[in-house]
Amino acid sequence: MTVIDPGMLTSVQTLGSRPCPELGVPSAGAVDTLSVKVGNRLLGNHDYDAALECTLTGVTVRLDSDSHIVVTGGEADCFLKGDSIRAMERWKVHKVGAGETVQIGGVRRGARVYLCVRGGFCSDRNSFGPSTNLGAGFGGFGGRALRAGDVLTFNGATGDPPENLHVPPMVLELLERRTLRAIALPMAGRFEQEAANLFWQSEFTVSNQSDRSGIRLEGPAIPSLCAGRMISEGMTFGAIEIPQSGQPIVLGVEHPTTGGYPVIACVATVDLPILGQLRPREKVRFEQVTVAEAHRLLRSASAALRRLPPQRDYSL
Amino acid sequence: MPPPVPTQITWFGDRCLRLEFGTENTPETRARVYRAWEALYDADFECRLRLTPAYTTILAEFDPLTLSDPKGFIASLFAESPDAPAIPSRKTVELPVCYEAPHAPDLESVAEHCGLSVEDVVRAHSGATYEVAFIGFMPGFPYLVGLPNELACPRLPNPRLRVPSGSVAIADDQTGIYPRSSAGGWRLVGRTPLRLFDAAQPSPSLLEIGDSVRFRRITPAEFDTLAAQRNS
C-alpha cells in the first residue's frame, strides 16, 4: 500500500504496545482502541493487528495488491477509485483490487478514522511492540507519522475474511457519548468540595491544543489546594490533571508516565475510546461513577463485543 | 529484611491502585519505594501489573476484567516476596557533560538566583553524586536526587518550546536529563552528548531506577567529538 496523501497526521497503531512505565514509556497505541478492535474483528484479524490512525483530515492510499479493508472510527466520506468511483460504507468490509485508491475525506464527526487491512500492517521491531510512539520517535513506521510516498506492507492472510458479521450497536452508541464516566480521587489536601462540585457540574470545551499526549479542556477554572504542584507520581491514560490555570488536562495514550499536578478524577476504562473521538471545540461533561459501577460497565461492554468474536487461529 | 508494605492503598480510577510509602520525599521513603518496587516487579512473573515507581508512590495498573481482586493480589505478591537485601545493588554511570555555551543557556540565571559564580555552580553540580529516584515524564528521563542544596532553583516562568536532547537541567531540588528534544520548563545548565534512550537496544534506557550518576566536565570540542562518535 502506498501513501498518496497522509492528511495532517496518520500513523501505524495497535491496541497498545508493551508499556514500560519504569523506563518512562507509556502504552501509546491507538487512542480509540474500540474502533481498531472492531475493525480487526470484522476482517478476521487478531485484536492486536496494526491499523492506520488518521486524524481529522483523512487520508488517501493506493493498494498495490488485492486485499480487504474496513474503515472504522469517526464519520467521513470514503471512496474507492479504480475504473469507477464507488462510495464505501464505514464499518463494512470491502474487497479492494491492486491499483485502486482509497480516499477518506475530512472527519465530520469524531476526530479519528481507522483504516484496517486484512492481516494487519507490518511495523518496526523494537523493545516495546508495533505501535508508533510519535513523541519518543519509535515503533510503527520509522517511529514517525506517515508521509506521501511511504510504502506499507501487510502481513499475509490467506482466504477471505468472515462474512455476516455485524457491529454491535453498543460500539457506535459508546463512541457518540460526550458525557464521560469517571471515578473521583481522594480530595484531602488537593481540592475542596466546592472545587469538586464545580468540576462535576460544569461543561468543558475541547481545546485546539489537544493531541495524543493529552486533551486540554476549557471551562470554569477549578481551584486546587496545592498551587498546581505536588510531589511527582505515576500517571495513567485518562487521568484528569488540574494544573495551576485550573483548566483540566485529560491525559492521552502518549502521556508523561509521571506528573506533578493534582488529579481530580480518572475517566472510566470503558469510556477511554471516546477520548480518541473528541474533536476541538466539542463540549464534554463528566459523570461520577464508583469503581464497582465502572467495572460493571466495562464487563457489559466487553460482553456486547463477544457477538463479534476475535480471531483465535494463530497460524494466520 | 522483608519488603516494605504500603502505608496506604487507594484506587486511582478503575484500573490502577496507588500505593503510598510515605508523605514526604525523603531518602527513607524513596528507599521503601525502591525496595517495594523491586519486590513486586520480581514476584509478578505473570506480568499482570504495570508499575510506575516515583518519589513516594508506586502506581500499579492492571486489567480489571482479568484481575478481580487486585488488592489481594498485590498483598500476596508482598507476602510471597523473599527478603530483599537492605542495600540493593546498583550500577554507577559517569556522564560527560559540557557546562559551556551553547549547551548551558540557563547557567547564568541559576548562578544569579543562587548568589554564586558560574564556576561555583558548575563545580558543585559536577562534584556531587546523584541517585536515579525513578525514570518518568518521557522515555529515559531520569529524576536525579542529590543536588547540592545551594543549587536549588525554581522552574523557568515560561517553559521553552524546544529543549535540545541531552540537556542537563535543574528544577527545585531535582536535576534531570532530557533524553529527547521536547518542550520543558527546567533550567538548562549543561548537555551530555550520550544517548540516554534507544528503543532499538535490548536495554533501551541508559539509566535505571536506583543507579548512581556522576557528571564529568567536558569542553565543547570534546562534546562535538563524542556526539560525532554517537552518530556514526
Here the ipTM equals: 0.94
At A20-47, the pLDDT tens digits run 999 999 988 999 999 999 999 999 999 9
> pLDDT confidence of B88, banded at 50, 70, 90?
low
pLDDT at B77 over 80: yes
The answer to whether the CB atoms of A23 and B41 lie below 8 A apart is no
A5 contacts A113 by C-beta, under 8 angstroms: no
Rounded average pLDDT over B112-140: 97
Task: Tell me the residue type at A144.
Answer: R
The answer to whether the CB atoms of A295 and B135 lie below 8 A apart is no
User: Chain B contacts of A21, Cβ < 8 Å?
Assistant: 50-52, 59, 61
Rounded average pLDDT over A84-113: 96
> pLDDT confidence of B87, banded at 50, 70, 90?
low
pLDDT at A255 over 80: yes
User: Chain A contacts of B71, Cβ < 8 Å?
Assistant: none
> pLDDT confidence of A144, banded at 50, 70, 90?
very high
> pLDDT confidence of A208, banded at 50, 70, 90?
very high
- In angstroms, rounded to a whole number, what is the distance separating the alpha carbons of residues A142 and A159? 30
Closest alpha carbon to A115 in A146, A160, A149, A84: A146
The answer to whether the CB atoms of A232 and B52 lie below 8 A apart is no
Which residue of B59, B64, B138 is in closest CB contact with A298?
B64
The residues facing A259 across adjacent strands are A233
User: Smallest CA–CA separation between B132 and chain A, in Å?
Assistant: 11
Q: For residue A275, what are the contacts with CB-CB under 8 A and spacing of at least 6?
A: A31, A32, A180, A215, A237, A238, A250, A252, A267
Mutate to test the interface with B, among A23, A134, A212, A271 (most CBs of B within 10 A): A23
The answer to whether the CB atoms of A268 and B14 lie below 8 A apart is yes
Copy the grid coordinates of residue A46.
487478531
pLDDT at A14: 95
SS3 per-residue string spanning chain B: CCCCCCCEEEECCCCEEEEECCCCCCHHHHHHHHHHHHHHHHHCCCCCCEEEECCCEEEEECCCCCCCCHHHHHHHHHHHCCCCCCCCCCCEEEEEEECCCCCCCCHHHHHHHHCCCHHHHHHHHHHCEEEEEEECCCCCCEEEECCCHHHCECCCCCCEEEECCCEEEEEECEEEECCCCEEECCEEEEECCCCCECCCCCCCECCCCCCEEEEEEECHHHHHHHHHHHHC
Q: Which of A2-16, A156-170, B46-60 has the lowest mean pLDDT?
A: A156-170
User: Chain B contacts of A233, Cβ < 8 Å?
Assistant: 18, 52, 54-57, 59
The answer to whether the CB atoms of B12 and A136 lie below 8 A apart is no
Residues of chain B with pLDDT > 70, as a percent, come to 97
Q: Name the DSSP letter for residue A20.
A: B
In chain A, which residue's Cα lies nearest the Cα of B155?
A229
Domains of chain A: 2-167 (no CATH), 175-304 (2.40.100.10)
The answer to whether the CB atoms of A22 and B57 lie below 8 A apart is no
pLDDT at A137 over 60: yes
- In angstroms, rounded to a whole number, what is the distance separating the alpha carbons of residues A195 and A190? 10
In chain A, which residue's Cα lies nearest the Cα of B210?
A22
pLDDT at A19: 79
Q: Name the DSSP letter for residue A162.
A: P
Rounded average pLDDT over A103-108: 96
Task: Decide: residue B120, CB within 10 A, 0-12 exposed, 13-18 middle, 19+ buried.
Answer: middle
pLDDT at B86 over 90: no
- In angstroms, rounded to a whole number, what is the distance separating the alpha carbons of residues A40 and A17? 16
Task: Assess A249–B contact: CB distance below 8 Å, yes or no.
Answer: no
A15-54 residues touching B, CB cutoff 8 A: 19-25
Rounded average pLDDT over A167-178: 96
Using a CB–CB cut-off of 8 Å, the residues of B that contact A are: 10-16, 18, 25, 37, 41, 50-59, 61, 64-65, 134-141, 143, 180, 182, 197, 199-202, 204-205, 208-209
Chain mean pLDDT for chain A: 94
pLDDT at A102 over 90: yes
pLDDT at B48 over 80: yes
CA atoms in the 13 A half-sphere facing the CB of A92? 9
User: Smallest CA–CA separation between A106 and chain B, in Å?
Assistant: 29
The answer to whether the CB atoms of A135 and B182 lie below 8 A apart is yes
At B163-216, the pLDDT tens digits run 999 999 999 999 999 999 988 899 999 999 999 999 988 899 999 999 999 999
The answer to whether the CB atoms of A256 and B55 lie below 8 A apart is no
The answer to whether the CB atoms of B18 and A266 lie below 8 A apart is no
The DSSP code sequence of A104-160 is E---SEEEEEEEEETT-B-----TT-SS-BTTTTBSTTTTS---TT-B--B----SP
